Amino acid sequence: MLLTEDLFAQFNKALDQELHDIIGEDLPILAKIKTYVMESGGKRVRPQLLLLFASHFGVYDANAVALAAITEIIHAASLLHDDVIDNAQDRRGKPAGRILFGNRQVILAGDYLLACGIWRLNRFENQRLMDVFTRVIKELAVAELLQMEYEQNPQITPEIYYRIIYGKTAILFEAATLSAGIYAGQVNLDALEKIGRDIGFLFQIRDDILDYFGAHLLNKTPFQDYENGLFTYPVIELLNRAEEKTRQELLHFMTLPWEKRKDKRVQREFLLFLERHQIKEISIYKIESLYQSILQELKNFQEDEYIRLIKAQLAKLCQLAI
Nearest distance from C-beta of residue 256 to ligand FPP, angstroms = 20
The residues in 156-215 that bind ligand FPP, with binding defined as CB under 6 A, are: 168-169
Question: Which CB sits closer to ligand FPP, 14 or 19?
Answer: 19
Three-point CA angle 267, 150, 161, nearest 5° = 90
Residue 28, helix vs strand vs coil: helix
Nearest distance from C-beta of residue 81 to ligand FPP, angstroms = 4
Task: Count CB neighbours of 321 within 10 A.
Answer: 5
Residue 108, helix vs strand vs coil: helix
Question: Which CB sits closer to Mg ion, 86 or 139?
Answer: 86
Distance CA 53, CA 310 (A): 9
Distance CA 280, CA 273 (A): 11
- State yes or no: residue 114 binds ligand FPP (CB under 6 A): yes
Cβ 88 vs Cβ 215: under 8 Å: no
Distance CA 184, CA 156 (A): 40
Stretch that binds ligand FPP, among 6-14, 73-81, 277-285, 287-295 (CB under 6 A): 73-81
- State yes or no: residue 74 binds ligand FPP (CB under 6 A): yes
Cβ 30 vs Cβ 112: under 8 Å: yes
Which residue type is seen at 53?
Answer: F
Q: Which residues of 18-56 are buried (b: 16+ CB within 10 A; e: fewer)?
A: bbeebbeeeeebbebbbebbbebebebbbbbbbbbbbbb
- State yes or no: residue 144 binds Mg ion (CB under 5 A): no
- State yes or no: residue 70 binds ligand FPP (CB under 6 A): no
- State yes or no: residue 174 binds Mg ion (CB under 5 A): no
- State yes or no: residue 110 binds ligand FPP (CB under 6 A): yes
Taking CB under 6 A as the rule, which mask of x and - marks residues 79-108 in contact with ligand FPP?
A: --xx--xx----------------------
Element (H, E) at 65: helix 62-85
**Helix (DSSP H) and strand (DSSP E) numbers for the chain:** 17, 2
What is the helix, strand, coil percentage profile of the chain, to 5? 75, 0, 25
Nearest distance from C-beta of residue 195 to ligand FPP, angstroms = 19
Looking at 48, 55, 71, 78, which residue binds ligand FPP (CB under 6 A)?
Answer: 78
The residues in 75-114 that bind Mg ion, with binding defined as CB under 5 A, are: 82, 86
Nearest distance from C-beta of residue 91 to Mg ion, angstroms = 8
Taking CB under 6 A as the rule, which mask of x and - marks residues 117-156 in contact with ligand FPP?
A: --------------------x--xx--x------------
Dihedral pair phi/psi, residue 236, rounded to 5°: -60, -45
The residues in 237-266 that bind ligand FPP, with binding defined as CB under 6 A, are: none
Question: Which CB sits closer to ligand FPP, 134 or 300?
Answer: 134
User: Rule CB under 6 A: which residues touch ligand FPP?
Assistant: 74, 77-78, 81-82, 85-86, 110, 114, 137, 140-141, 144, 168-169, 224
